[in-house]
Amino acid sequence: AQKITQTQPGMFVQEKEAVTLDCTYDTSDPSYGLFWYKQPSSGEMIFLIYQGSYDQQNATEGRYSLNFQKARKSANLVISASQLGDSAMYFCAMREGVNTGFQKLVFGTGTRLLVSP
């Protein structure tokens, strides 16, 4: 079974609008972390935001916020006021395995975001 599901292969948004990128996850581990990474066309992976499973509040980093709904097992990324430079692939990832003593990131298949002027 897929641990991380990103159902939107591609998304379009106009500059200055907000966009939500969906991510659902599957784990039985009580302690886990959720991450979003951005991969522009240049290829590097850029860490954007982190949400811990025990965090009471949704994480925010500048224009990025994570809409964490634990009961629904979703961790959607919201980008406010989109900019042309936001055009990239976005990956949701989960870190689990705290109780088993190891840590690894499991990635979703990504969503390609295109911001138009």
Partner 1 sequence: DTAVSQTPKYLVTQMGNDKSIKCEQNLGHDTMYWYKQDSKKFLKIMFSYNNKELIINETVPNRFSPKSPDKAHLNLHINSLELGDSAVYFCASSQDRFYEQYFGPGTRLTVT
Q: Is 37 in the site for partner 1 (CB under 8 A)?
A: yes
Answer for which of 5, 8, 20, 39 binds partner 1 (CB under 8 A) is: 39
Cβ 101 to partner 1 shortest distance, Å: 8
Q: Of 68 and 91, which CB lies nearer to partner 1 in the complex structure?
A: 91
Q: Does 100 bind partner 1 (CB under 8 A)?
A: no
33 binds partner 1 (CB under 8 A): yes
Please enumerate, as own/partner, the contacts of 96-105 that have beta carbons within 8 Å and a separation of 24 or more.
96/3, 96/27, 96/29, 96/31, 96/32, 96/33, 97/29, 98/29, 98/31, 98/32, 99/29, 99/30, 99/31, 105/35
Residue ranges binding partner 1 (CB under 8 A)? 33, 35, 37, 39, 43-47, 50, 89, 91, 93, 95, 98, 102-107, 109-110
